[in-house]
């Protein structure tokens, strides 16, 4: 366990639970968890912060994936195909993550959030219902390339917002509603987390004791979030997405320029 106060450990565990809930509903729990880890581990190497984040997130993501798969109409075979591409992409991104500085992380996360918020706000009908026509082979291949390799690489390199990007990409490319896209994204995200975590672990960039403690809270939050999303539907998911993104843009902007 790193040398941090009991109070900070409690804060990190609460953040892990909240991030698990957010990640299960709309993706992007890392947008909360990563800044919390940067605050709690000010002297750690950025790659260690990213690696510890992955060790926490993979537990909650796996729990949410199982919950969704039991009740949502998920095409598991397609999700696994995209996930395998994402695993390869995330390992490549994680291999390069050692060169990322802490000073670069916050502006990058803010840019990601603003783009996501703008897209959802100006597309009010986005993801409210599944598409009526079958998805073409070209769209499936594009999903494997973009949502798999592309977003997987981003997840390994930086990480925050990956789940949200997956939900948006899968909804747009495969004509899914937001709940089904969230369910599919969890399976893919498990693969990206596994690939990145394997690389970080190989490099010795994971604080395992802290990650194990936080993972318990992350799993609890994710299970609650997945059940709520299944019960309340796409409108609820969209509302949470906009609320979370807006709050985090304000928070990070204050930290950057306040």
The pLDDT value recorded for residue 128 is: 60
- How far is the C-alpha of 225 from the C-alpha of 240, rounded, in Å? 11
Confidence of residue 72 (pLDDT cuts 50, 70, 90): confident
Confidence (pLDDT) at 129: 60
Q: What is the pTM of this model?
A: 0.77
Looking at per-residue pLDDT, the higher value among 178 and 9 belongs to 9
* pLDDT tens readout for residues 92-120: 888 887 666 656 666 776 777 787 777 77
* pLDDT at 255 > cutoff 80: no
Kindly tell me if the per-residue pLDDT of 130 is higher than 70: no
Contact assessment for residue 235 and residue 127, using Cβ atoms and an 8 Å cutoff: no
C-beta neighbour count of 225 within 10 angstroms: 28
98, 100, 122, 124, 198 from 41: Cα distances, Å: 16, 16, 37, 39, 21
| Predicted confidence (pLDDT) per residue in 146-161, tens digit | 889 999 898 888 776 7
* Stretch 72-82: mean pLDDT: 87
Q: Of 88-92, 169-173, 239-243, which range is least confident?
A: 239-243
Task: Say what percent of the chain tops pLDDT 70.
Answer: 88
Cα–Cα distance for residue pair 176/102, rounded to 1 Å = 35
Written as six digits, the tokens of 152 are: 């997987």
């Amino acid at each position: 366990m790193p040398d941090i106060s009991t109070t900070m450990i409690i804060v990190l565990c609460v953040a892990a639970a909240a991030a698990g809930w957010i990640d299960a509903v709309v993706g992007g729990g890392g947008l909360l968890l990563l800044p919390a880890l940067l605050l709690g581990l000010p002297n750690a190497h950025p790659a260690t912060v990213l690696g510890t984040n992955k060790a926490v997130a993979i537990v909650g993501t796996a729990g949410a994936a199982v919950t969704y798969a039991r009740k949502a109409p998920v095409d598991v075979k397609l999700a696994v195909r995209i996930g395998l591409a994402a695993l390869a992409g995330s390992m490549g991104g994680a291999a390069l993550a050692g060169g990322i500085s802490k000073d670069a992380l916050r502006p990058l996360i803010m840019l990601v959030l603003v783009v996501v918020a703008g897209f959802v706000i100006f597309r009010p009908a986005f993801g409210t219902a599944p598409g009526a026509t079958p998805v073409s082979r070209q769209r499936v291949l594009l999903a494997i390339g973009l949502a798999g390799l592309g977003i997987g690489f981003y997840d390994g390199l930086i990480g925050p917002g990956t789940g949200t990007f997956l939900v948006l990409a899968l909804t747009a490319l495969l004509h899914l509603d937001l709940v089904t896209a969230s369910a599919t994204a969890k399976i893919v995200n498990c693969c990206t987390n596994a690939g990145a975590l394997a690389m970080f672990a190989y490099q010795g960039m994971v604080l395992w004791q802290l990650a194990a403690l936080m993972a318990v809270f992350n799993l609890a939050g994710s299970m609650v979030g997945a059940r709520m999303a299944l019960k309340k539907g796409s409108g609820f998911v969209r509302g949470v997405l906009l609320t979370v993104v807006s709050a985090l843009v304000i928070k990070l902007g204050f930290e950057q320029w306040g």
